Amino acid sequence: MLDSNLEKAVPERLAILGHLIENRKRYERAFAQTSLIGGILSIVACAAIVADDALLRISGRPIGSREFVFVWILVCVVSAIVAAFLFHRATPSNGRDMKSAARKFVVVLISPCLLVPFAFTSWFLATGYLGGAELELVVVWIAFYGLTLLSTSAFAPRSITLLGWAFLLSALAIPLLEETFEIWLGNIPVLLIGTTFGVYHVLYAAIVWPRLRGASVEVN
């Protein structure tokens, strides 16, 4: 029975990988579009928090730790909805079963990389915020987002793999440069998110999207 299941599973996995590789240009363009929108949202959110803390004080006080998290959860949710729409539109209309199988395959593949940030964020919202662990939370977000991108390297375009390395190496560098950041940057967690999830994504879109506009990646 086990051998039979393996014999069935292997061709299915190969077919899914073939589908993802064959359509990688479509998905690369969809990711570039998502990166632009998510990057802009991150920069705007970062600017709003910095402005509120330093200048405007709309809320009458600095943004609290849990409020800080809720802002970025909102940005993440909006970006995820946009990504789901763009990737759905980028998928070829023929082969509905393959389309569903590929989506399930990718979700199962990246899910382990999302468990740690989900657990860490839940802990932070419950009690972790009392210890002022915003920087540690941001490092976890940046590192595991990079790992999520790298987990797709078997079929994803090289540009997405390079972006994943940029996030992961940035997360590894943060503890080493923390003292320098404190001297020059002020609100480190907010500016780090604005730099990585904001600037990195916008730069990625600016570099990749123009190259793909001339490619044969029309949506069916």
Residue 25 and residue 217 in contact, taking contact as beta carbons nearer than 8 Å? yes
Res. 122: pLDDT tops 50: yes
Determine which of 82-96, 139-153, 156-170, 176-190 has the lowest per-residue pLDDT on average.
176-190
pLDDT score at 101: 80
Residue 217 and residue 23 in contact, taking contact as beta carbons nearer than 8 Å? no
pLDDT score at 152: 92
pLDDT score at 114: 93
Arithmetic mean of pLDDT over the chain: 82
* Predicted TM-score (pTM) of this structure: 0.84
Q: pLDDT (tens digit, 9 = 90+) per residue, 43-92?
A: 999 888 887 765 655 555 567 788 889 999 999 999 999 998 888 887 77
Return the top range by mean pLDDT from 1-10, 21-30, 156-165, 205-214: 156-165
